[in-house]
Protein backbone atom coordinates (compact mmCIF):
# COMPACT_ATOMS: atom_id res chain seq x y z
CA UNK A 1 0.00 0.00 0.00
CA UNK A 2 1.45 3.39 -0.98
CA UNK A 3 0.52 6.63 0.73
CA UNK A 4 -0.85 9.54 -1.32
CA UNK A 5 -1.93 12.98 -0.14
CA UNK A 6 -4.75 14.99 -1.71
CA UNK A 7 -5.60 18.62 -1.25
CA UNK A 8 -9.40 19.00 -1.19
CA UNK A 9 -10.70 22.37 -2.38
CA UNK A 10 -9.82 22.91 -6.01
CA UNK A 11 -9.06 19.20 -6.45
CA UNK A 12 -12.36 17.66 -5.38
CA UNK A 13 -14.39 20.88 -5.66
CA UNK A 14 -14.99 23.72 -8.10
CA UNK A 15 -14.48 26.97 -6.18
CA UNK A 16 -15.29 29.57 -8.82
CA UNK A 17 -18.64 30.63 -7.33
CA UNK A 18 -17.07 30.96 -3.90
CA UNK A 19 -14.15 32.95 -5.27
CA UNK A 20 -16.50 35.39 -7.01
CA UNK A 21 -18.44 35.84 -3.77
CA UNK A 22 -15.22 36.50 -1.82
CA UNK A 23 -14.41 39.24 -4.32
CA UNK A 24 -17.88 40.78 -3.92
CA UNK A 25 -17.71 40.64 -0.12
CA UNK A 26 -14.26 42.24 -0.13
CA UNK A 27 -15.36 45.12 -2.34
CA UNK A 28 -18.59 45.67 -0.38
CA UNK A 29 -16.81 45.57 2.99
CA UNK A 30 -14.12 47.99 1.89
CA UNK A 31 -16.72 50.39 0.50
CA UNK A 32 -18.73 50.24 3.71
CA UNK A 33 -15.73 50.82 5.97
CA UNK A 34 -14.21 53.64 3.92
CA UNK A 35 -17.35 55.44 2.74
CA UNK A 36 -16.37 54.97 -0.92
CA UNK A 37 -18.93 53.65 -3.38
CA UNK A 38 -18.85 50.00 -4.43
CA UNK A 39 -18.52 51.19 -8.01
CA UNK A 40 -15.36 53.12 -7.18
CA UNK A 41 -13.79 50.24 -5.23
CA UNK A 42 -14.69 47.90 -8.11
CA UNK A 43 -12.94 50.26 -10.52
CA UNK A 44 -9.82 50.19 -8.36
CA UNK A 45 -10.03 46.42 -8.08
CA UNK A 46 -10.24 45.99 -11.86
CA UNK A 47 -7.41 48.43 -12.47
CA UNK A 48 -5.06 46.61 -10.11
CA UNK A 49 -6.12 43.26 -11.54
CA UNK A 50 -4.99 44.38 -14.98
CA UNK A 51 -1.68 45.70 -13.63
CA UNK A 52 -0.70 42.59 -11.69
CA UNK A 53 -1.77 40.42 -14.62
CA UNK A 54 1.07 41.95 -16.63
CA UNK A 55 3.68 40.86 -14.07
CA UNK A 56 2.21 37.99 -12.05
CA UNK A 57 5.68 36.84 -10.96
CA UNK A 58 5.99 40.05 -8.90
CA UNK A 59 2.66 39.83 -7.07
CA UNK A 60 0.93 37.43 -4.75
CA UNK A 61 -0.29 36.61 -1.28
CA UNK A 62 2.36 38.06 1.01
CA UNK A 63 3.09 36.54 4.43
CA UNK A 64 6.27 37.03 6.48
CA UNK A 65 7.28 39.63 3.88
CA UNK A 66 7.48 37.05 1.09
CA UNK A 67 5.07 35.76 -1.55
CA UNK A 68 3.59 32.51 -0.28
CA UNK A 69 1.59 31.94 -3.51
CA UNK A 70 1.42 33.87 -6.77
CA UNK A 71 -1.58 35.92 -7.83
CA UNK A 72 -2.22 33.82 -10.95
CA UNK A 73 -2.41 30.47 -9.13
CA UNK A 74 -6.08 30.68 -8.15
CA UNK A 75 -8.91 33.18 -7.80
CA UNK A 76 -8.81 33.35 -4.00
CA UNK A 77 -5.13 34.28 -4.07
CA UNK A 78 -5.81 36.82 -6.81
CA UNK A 79 -8.54 38.50 -4.71
CA UNK A 80 -6.35 38.51 -1.59
CA UNK A 81 -3.51 40.08 -3.55
CA UNK A 82 -5.70 42.80 -5.07
CA UNK A 83 -7.63 43.69 -1.91
CA UNK A 84 -4.39 43.86 0.08
CA UNK A 85 -2.84 46.21 -2.47
CA UNK A 86 -5.92 48.46 -2.47
CA UNK A 87 -5.70 48.79 1.31
CA UNK A 88 -1.95 49.07 1.75
CA UNK A 89 -1.48 51.62 -1.02
CA UNK A 90 -4.13 54.03 0.30
CA UNK A 91 -3.85 55.53 3.79
CA UNK A 92 -7.61 56.21 4.07
CA UNK A 93 -8.47 52.58 3.29
CA UNK A 94 -5.70 51.36 5.58
CA UNK A 95 -6.97 53.44 8.50
CA UNK A 96 -10.56 52.31 7.95
CA UNK A 97 -9.60 48.64 7.80
CA UNK A 98 -7.32 48.80 10.84
CA UNK A 99 -10.03 50.50 12.86
CA UNK A 100 -12.33 47.51 12.29
CA UNK A 101 -9.96 44.57 11.83
CA UNK A 102 -6.65 45.65 13.43
CA UNK A 103 -4.67 44.72 10.33
CA UNK A 104 -5.06 43.91 6.64
CA UNK A 105 -4.51 40.19 7.11
CA UNK A 106 -7.57 39.91 9.36
CA UNK A 107 -9.61 41.86 6.82
CA UNK A 108 -8.59 39.43 4.08
CA UNK A 109 -9.46 36.47 6.32
CA UNK A 110 -12.87 38.02 7.00
CA UNK A 111 -13.66 38.42 3.30
CA UNK A 112 -12.63 34.82 2.64
CA UNK A 113 -14.71 33.36 5.47
CA UNK A 114 -17.80 35.46 4.72
CA UNK A 115 -17.61 34.83 0.99
CA UNK A 116 -17.33 31.07 1.51
CA UNK A 117 -20.32 31.12 3.87
CA UNK A 118 -22.48 32.83 1.25
CA UNK A 119 -21.62 30.50 -1.63
CA UNK A 120 -21.09 26.75 -1.61
CA UNK A 121 -18.47 24.99 -3.73
CA UNK A 122 -19.58 22.65 -6.49
CA UNK A 123 -18.68 19.10 -5.59
CA UNK A 124 -19.44 15.64 -6.94
CA UNK A 125 -19.06 13.61 -3.75
CA UNK A 126 -19.97 10.33 -5.38
CA UNK A 127 -17.20 10.79 -7.92
CA UNK A 128 -14.65 11.63 -5.23
CA UNK A 129 -15.69 8.67 -3.09
CA UNK A 130 -15.39 6.38 -6.11
CA UNK A 131 -11.86 7.69 -6.74
CA UNK A 132 -10.87 7.08 -3.10
CA UNK A 133 -12.31 3.56 -3.14
CA UNK A 134 -10.73 2.61 -6.48
CA UNK A 135 -7.40 4.00 -5.30
CA UNK A 136 -7.53 1.93 -2.12
CA UNK A 137 -8.45 -1.24 -4.01
CA UNK A 138 -5.43 -0.61 -6.22
CA UNK A 139 -3.12 -0.24 -3.23
CA UNK A 140 -3.06 3.55 -2.78
CA UNK A 141 -4.19 4.95 0.58
CA UNK A 142 -5.38 8.59 0.52
CA UNK A 143 -4.96 11.22 3.24
CA UNK A 144 -6.47 14.70 2.88
CA UNK A 145 -4.27 17.67 3.83
CA UNK A 146 -6.14 20.96 3.47
CA UNK A 147 -6.13 24.54 4.65
CA UNK A 148 -9.88 24.24 5.25
CA UNK A 149 -11.43 23.33 8.59
CA UNK A 150 -11.17 19.65 9.48
CA UNK A 151 -14.84 19.23 10.44
CA UNK A 152 -16.06 20.73 7.15
CA UNK A 153 -14.12 18.21 5.06
CA UNK A 154 -14.92 15.32 7.41
CA UNK A 155 -18.58 16.21 6.93
CA UNK A 156 -18.25 15.76 3.19
CA UNK A 157 -16.39 12.47 3.61
CA UNK A 158 -18.47 10.91 6.40
CA UNK A 159 -18.24 7.13 6.23
CA UNK A 160 -15.38 7.08 3.70
CA UNK A 161 -12.70 6.36 6.30
CA UNK A 162 -10.16 8.95 5.18
CA UNK A 163 -7.92 10.81 7.60
CA UNK A 164 -8.21 14.60 7.25
CA UNK A 165 -5.57 17.08 8.35
CA UNK A 166 -7.40 20.40 8.32
CA UNK A 167 -6.10 23.92 8.94
CA UNK A 168 -2.77 22.70 7.59
CA UNK A 169 -1.54 26.25 6.96
CA UNK A 170 0.40 25.24 3.89
CA UNK A 171 0.72 28.96 3.24
CA UNK A 172 2.65 29.57 6.46
CA UNK A 173 6.28 30.59 5.90
CA UNK A 174 8.85 30.05 8.65
CA UNK A 175 12.06 31.99 7.86
CA UNK A 176 13.98 29.74 10.27
CA UNK A 177 13.00 26.51 8.49
CA UNK A 178 15.62 25.90 5.82
CA UNK A 179 15.90 22.09 5.91
CA UNK A 180 14.84 21.82 2.27
CA UNK A 181 16.39 25.08 1.08
CA UNK A 182 14.81 28.49 0.73
CA UNK A 183 13.04 28.37 -2.61
CA UNK A 184 12.44 26.63 -5.90
CA UNK A 185 13.11 28.88 -8.91
CA UNK A 186 11.04 28.39 -12.03
CA UNK A 187 11.75 30.24 -15.27
CA UNK A 188 8.89 30.84 -17.68
CA UNK A 189 8.86 33.21 -20.66
CA UNK A 190 11.60 35.34 -19.18
CA UNK A 191 9.94 35.57 -15.78
CA UNK A 192 11.27 33.98 -12.59
CA UNK A 193 8.90 32.53 -10.01
CA UNK A 194 10.63 31.91 -6.67
CA UNK A 195 8.42 29.47 -4.81
CA UNK A 196 9.17 29.47 -1.09
CA UNK A 197 9.91 26.08 0.48
CA UNK A 198 10.13 27.17 4.13
CA UNK A 199 6.80 25.62 5.09
CA UNK A 200 7.55 23.95 8.42
CA UNK A 201 3.91 23.20 9.36
CA UNK A 202 3.22 21.48 6.06
CA UNK A 203 6.50 19.58 6.34
CA UNK A 204 5.62 18.38 9.84
CA UNK A 205 2.25 17.04 8.64
CA UNK A 206 3.90 15.10 5.81
CA UNK A 207 6.39 13.70 8.34
CA UNK A 208 3.59 12.69 10.69
CA UNK A 209 1.82 10.80 7.90
CA UNK A 210 5.11 9.07 7.09
CA UNK A 211 5.58 8.01 10.72
CA UNK A 212 2.01 6.78 11.14
CA UNK A 213 1.25 5.24 7.75
CA UNK A 214 4.43 5.06 5.70
CA UNK A 215 6.31 7.17 3.17
CA UNK A 216 4.18 9.59 1.15
CA UNK A 217 4.86 8.80 -2.50
CA UNK A 218 2.63 11.33 -4.28
CA UNK A 219 0.72 14.55 -3.58
CA UNK A 220 -2.23 15.95 -5.53
CA UNK A 221 -3.00 19.68 -5.52
CA UNK A 222 -4.26 22.56 -7.63
CA UNK A 223 -2.04 25.39 -6.34
CA UNK A 224 1.59 24.64 -7.07
CA UNK A 225 3.15 26.95 -4.47
CA UNK A 226 0.92 25.79 -1.61
CA UNK A 227 0.37 22.13 -2.42
CA UNK A 228 3.16 20.78 -4.60
CA UNK A 229 6.44 22.69 -4.34
CA UNK A 230 7.50 21.27 -0.97
CA UNK A 231 6.54 17.65 -1.81
CA UNK A 232 8.50 17.96 -5.06
CA UNK A 233 11.54 19.22 -3.15
CA UNK A 234 11.17 16.23 -0.80
CA UNK A 235 11.38 13.79 -3.72
CA UNK A 236 7.71 12.90 -4.07
CA UNK A 237 5.75 12.64 -7.30
CA UNK A 238 3.42 15.59 -7.77
CA UNK A 239 0.05 15.63 -9.53
CA UNK A 240 -1.39 18.97 -10.62
CA UNK A 241 -5.17 19.12 -10.89
CA UNK A 242 -5.52 21.49 -13.81
CA UNK A 243 -8.36 24.01 -13.57
CA UNK A 244 -9.42 26.98 -15.67
CA UNK A 245 -7.14 29.25 -13.65
CA UNK A 246 -4.02 27.05 -13.64
CA UNK A 247 -1.06 29.17 -14.82
CA UNK A 248 1.12 27.92 -17.66
CA UNK A 249 4.34 28.25 -15.67
CA UNK A 250 3.07 25.77 -13.07
CA UNK A 251 1.64 23.37 -15.63
CA UNK A 252 4.80 23.34 -17.74
CA UNK A 253 7.05 22.81 -14.74
CA UNK A 254 5.01 19.86 -13.50
CA UNK A 255 4.90 18.30 -16.97
CA UNK A 256 8.67 18.53 -17.41
CA UNK A 257 10.07 18.04 -13.89
CA UNK A 258 10.51 14.26 -14.16
CA UNK A 259 8.19 13.42 -11.27
CA UNK A 260 5.11 15.32 -12.37
CA UNK A 261 1.67 14.54 -13.76
CA UNK A 262 -1.10 16.89 -14.92
CA UNK A 263 -4.74 15.86 -14.96
CA UNK A 264 -8.01 17.58 -15.87
CA UNK A 265 -10.10 14.91 -14.17
CA UNK A 266 -9.74 13.30 -10.74
CA UNK A 267 -11.15 10.08 -12.24
CA UNK A 268 -7.65 9.59 -13.69
CA UNK A 269 -5.99 9.53 -10.26
CA UNK A 270 -6.14 5.75 -9.62
CA UNK A 271 -4.38 5.10 -12.94
CA UNK A 272 -1.78 7.79 -12.27
CA UNK A 273 -1.08 6.17 -8.90
CA UNK A 274 -0.57 2.84 -10.70
CA UNK A 275 1.93 4.50 -13.05
CA UNK A 276 3.82 5.94 -10.07
CA UNK A 277 3.84 2.59 -8.27
CA UNK A 278 5.20 0.87 -11.36
CA UNK A 279 7.90 3.50 -11.84
CA UNK A 280 8.96 3.25 -8.21
CA UNK A 281 8.83 -0.55 -8.16
CA UNK A 282 6.08 -0.73 -5.53
CA distance 92 to 245: 32
The pLDDT assigned to 74 comes to 95
Write down the pTM of the prediction: 0.94
Number of other residues whose CB lies within 10 A of the CB of residue 145: 25
pLDDT of residue 64: 79
Across the chain, what does the average pLDDT equal?
Answer: 96
* pLDDT(217) > 80: yes
DSSP class per residue in 149-182: -HHHHHHHTTTT---EE-S--TT---TT--TT-S
Average pLDDT over residues 76-99: 95
Mean local confidence (pLDDT), 180-202: 97
155-178 pLDDT per residue, tens: 999 989 999 999 999 999 999 999
Please count the other Cβ atoms lying within 10 Å of the Cβ belonging to residue 60: 23
Q: How many CB atoms lie within 10 A of CB 32?
A: 13
Amino acid sequence: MIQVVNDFDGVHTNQLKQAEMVKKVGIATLARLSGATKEYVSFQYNTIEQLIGQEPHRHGWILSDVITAYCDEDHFIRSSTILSKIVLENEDYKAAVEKRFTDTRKFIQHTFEEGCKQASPQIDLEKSKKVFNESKKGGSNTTIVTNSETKRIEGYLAGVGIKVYGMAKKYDIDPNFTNIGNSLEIEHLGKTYRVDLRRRKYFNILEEIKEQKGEVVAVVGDVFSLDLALPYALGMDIILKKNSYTPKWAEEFVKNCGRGHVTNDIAELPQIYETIKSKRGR
